[in-house]
Chain A
């Protein structure tokens, strides 16, 4: 089975090892230690880690398209948010008649905006399986349609980036509209239960944290499997010499579409795990600024390495938590500086540095991926 292939790679083993170790450690420190203990990890922190992990998954998804396919998507926030909304709608339905108006079916914001019945597209979201399916399908379909149009007409490079940005911007405006029935600017919030468990209990938070960890592991595995398969090499080929790949008889646009859709779905899953942990989803997740920030995580961590994306996501967001806490004014400066410095001085990102320190790596035009493609073909 192709999905299990990556296990033979050192980088994968290492990554999964670290991930599992970290998860068990946090769990232990949270459960077994008394609160008085300095090492005790409280629910707040667990929750924070959970958020970071969902961001990491999102970053992995972006790295798959950017690093391996060379498509710089400035609209992945849209897929993330769509997944989030799908989950949010499920959680809203779970509130049932415990809303402030005690309406059996309608969410509060619909009641006080005088909606008499649930819009058709809310149907089915009271069923977990349907909602979770939507978490995959909603972003997937958007990516499919958008990607199909774009790749067929060979919109690539900068143009594609700009168009993806326009896409997420348009969606943001759309979701801000209250007529859309997604709560407008306030979005969806005040969640209560997920699968019958109280979202406001620490143990459920721990559960979500672990679930996110597992999702990240799986997502990483999928991306890695794709990257190190022959298809992955076709992607790299497309990235470096699209025309050549065509002349070799590959239907480039379909490969691009396939990977793009997979990536979008992963982003959706990340969003779905993000929402119950932060407790709100609103259109600001669609903002182009957020989408660009994701790309920075990847760039900082190092493109086309996947684990680099994870490192980047966690580093940047940790820094954000610290900065906005200690010296808020400085955060945007720091973020801006990161963008400049990383792109100018650190094109291969942190992972690049690591690779360089391991063995002053080959002068290949892309970071990382030469190291892991050998084992597969051999």
Chain B
């Protein structure tokens, strides 16, 4: 196998190509690692019995080689050298922050934004001011090394005073315990005062002991849903020791039962989160189409505008994706709402009572908006970063964890829905809207300015589309085609739920989402979608007015 030296000049040249997401990511890392650094500082101060810098430099020198195999060896060396800075070096190496200057100095990049980066000496930790990134060369690693580093760090962290680190380490060691780690582990377990860590370590040890064929270790794994545990048990079950095998099998049986339930919950969650996306996309239509009877084919593009607003916000506030995201909620609403007003004034008002023409005209608008984005901004997708509090997932148990970004979207959808309900039920606007939809002339004669109501309603619907866009920017591409992918689904949801009925939209959206996710595993993604569509088509034939139809004379109109 042949290895390439790291092409740093090229990397440097190309950095602008995607500097910005890279920055965001790096910043994110920094946030995570602040404690680490602080730790590094004091460690280096109050640890005088460290070996000489030359020795340390030798250790690091060994890392700066082309062959990944040699790098692996070098890492091993660092681990075995009980240098107190070893852990930090490994961490920095893992994060790609351990770099080397032209003059061969090993430095830690503290922050990699802009052309010149502040760095600190890898050995002493003293700040060295800023150095142009062109004069820095990163010490590259690959996945194999990443794994090695993580395990190594885990072992070191076992003894760390920091609880979080010990937890992470214990998590990591599950299934990676080998003979020479085993017996120090026993003492560690005794010394450990945190239950969670201890439990994990016990399991880790138990797995190791089962591999050695010790039957009594099984009891310690009872009821654990962790995949690694399952793997260990599976191995044991297929092992040649019959007694152990039977025991393992029975243990597995219990676990499988548990897993089924969790899987069911998982699917439900998936369904709801997909449903929430549908609801968000459709709820705006439910207002413009359902309440006003206006077919707005440009709805999808309003969603797109919302998403682009998020992107723009993040451009304005580089390095603060979270703040930008929160700010873009009102911003997105505003932008889309204004666009909506423009559409209403510019096109729709001339087509009152001609729904089909409205449909065509607004479709034209959607084409224009799309092409506008393509020419003005770019045909390429835009980068929208997820703030770190939205990435990752919420750990329920070893077999079930819920992805955070989707949970936020789900919550957001419900909030938006509740808000709309309030507006429609409690506010003057809602009252007027309902009045106008029931009987325009009458409402007019009662002094309601129908035109104004139209504008407000349409703005509201469009604004909500904008909100949907903000949410979607966290789940999918932000590009000119974003809208198209949702318009048909949105119409389906509204029609299925029953036009002019917000509750209908909510129920329809969520249930369609769940149906889709339940079908997907055995029908496949494509077929599932088709089945759902056909189902709706047939359903509409049976009940032309959807799930929750409006009754009586009002419906005749």
A residues touching B (Cβ–Cβ < 8 Å)? 72, 149-150, 152-155, 157-159, 161-163, 165-167, 169-170, 173-174, 176-177, 288-289, 292, 295-296, 299, 329, 332-333, 335-340, 342-344, 347
Contact = CB atoms under 8 A, between A and B. Distances in A.
**Interface of chain B, main secondary structure:** helix
Interface of B: 295, 297, 347, 350-351, 355-361, 363-368, 370-372, 374-375, 484, 488, 491-492, 495, 526-527, 529-530, 533-534, 536-538, 540-542, 544
A163 B537 CA distance: 6
A157 B355 contact: yes
A23 B538 CA distance: 44
Nearest to B492: A166
7 closest Cβ pairs, A-B complex: A339-B364, A336-B367, A336-B368, A332-B371, A149-B541, A170-B533, A336-B364
Name the residue among A152, A158, A174, A335 with the largest chain B CB count within 10 angstroms.
A158
Contact of B544 (A155, A170, A338): A155
A344 B526 contact: no
B364 A299 contact: no
A340 B365 contact: yes
Nearest to A331: B371
23 contacts: A149-B541, A150-B541, A153-B541, A153-B542, A155-B544, A161-B295, A162-B492, A166-B491, A166-B536, A170-B537, A173-B526, A177-B526, A296-B360, A299-B360, A329-B375, A333-B371, A338-B364, A339-B364, A339-B367, A340-B361, A340-B364, A340-B365, A344-B357
Contacts of A162: 491-492, 495
Nearest to B375: A329
Name the residue among A154, A174, A332, A335 with the largest chain B CB count within 10 angstroms.
A332
B284 to A, nearest CB: 16
Nearest to B357: A343
A185 to B, nearest CB: 12
A335 B364 contact: yes
Nearest to A168: B488
A338 B359 CA distance: 13
B356 A344 contact: no
A102 B234 CA distance: 49
Contacts of B357: 343-344, 347
Contacts of A288: 488
A349 to B, nearest CB: 12
Contact of A173 (B361, B371, B530): B530
A170 B530 contact: yes
A335 B367 contact: yes
Given A72-B356, A340-B368, 20 more contacts: A152-B541, A153-B541, A153-B542, A155-B541, A166-B488, A166-B492, A170-B533, A173-B530, A174-B530, A336-B366, A336-B367, A336-B368, A339-B363, A340-B361, A340-B365, A343-B351, A343-B360, A344-B347, A344-B351, A347-B357
B537 A340 contact: no
B119 to A, nearest CB: 46
Given A149-B538, A166-B488, A176 B360 contact: no
Contacts of B538: 149
A104 B255 CA distance: 54
Name the residue among A296, A333, A336, A337 with the largest chain B CB count within 10 angstroms.
A336
B530 A295 contact: no
Contacts of B537: 163, 166-167, 170
B36 to A, nearest CB: 49
A165 B360 CA distance: 13
Nearest to A287: B484
Contacts of B492: 162, 166
A154 B533 contact: no
Contacts of B372: 333
A289 B358 CA distance: 16
Contacts of B371: 329, 332-333, 336
Contact of A166 (B358, B364, B533): B533
Contact of A337 (B368, B488, B491, B533): B368
A296 B362 CA distance: 12
A261 to B, nearest CB: 17
Name the residue among B530, B534, B542 with the largest chain A CB count within 10 angstroms.
B530
A113 to B, nearest CB: 16
B367 A159 contact: no
A36 B10 CA distance: 54
A22 to B, nearest CB: 29
Contacts of A157: 355-356
A174 to B, nearest CB: 5
A75 B282 CA distance: 21
B494 to A, nearest CB: 9
Contacts of A289: 484
A299 B356 CA distance: 11
Nearest to B543: A153
B557 to A, nearest CB: 12
B541 A339 contact: no
A180 B371 CA distance: 34
A337 B488 CA distance: 22
A86 B408 CA distance: 48
B527 to A, nearest CB: 7
A333 B365 CA distance: 9
Contacts of B488: 165-166, 169, 288
A8 to B, nearest CB: 32
A158 B292 CA distance: 13
B540 A339 contact: no
Contacts of B363: 292, 339
A176 B529 CA distance: 12
Contact of B347 (A173, A335, A340): A340
Nearest to A71: B356
Contacts of A333: 367-368, 371-372
Contacts of B347: 340, 344
A155 B368 CA distance: 31
Given A157-B356, A329-B371, A337-B368, A165 B361 contact: no
Contacts of A166: 488, 491-492, 533, 536-537
B533 A177 contact: no
A340 B357 CA distance: 9
Contacts of B295: 158, 161
Contact of B356 (A158, A165, A329, A335): A158
Nearest to A177: B526
B365 A336 contact: yes
Contacts of A155: 540-541, 544
B296 to A, nearest CB: 11
Given A153-B544, A176-B526, A344-B351, A170 B361 contact: no
Contacts of A161: 295, 356, 359
B540 A344 contact: no
A256 to B, nearest CB: 14
B283 to A, nearest CB: 17
Contacts of A337: 364, 368
B361 A159 contact: no
Contacts of B533: 166, 169-170, 173
Contacts of A174: 530
B372 to A, nearest CB: 8
Given A166-B492, A173-B529, A347-B357, A332 B540 contact: no
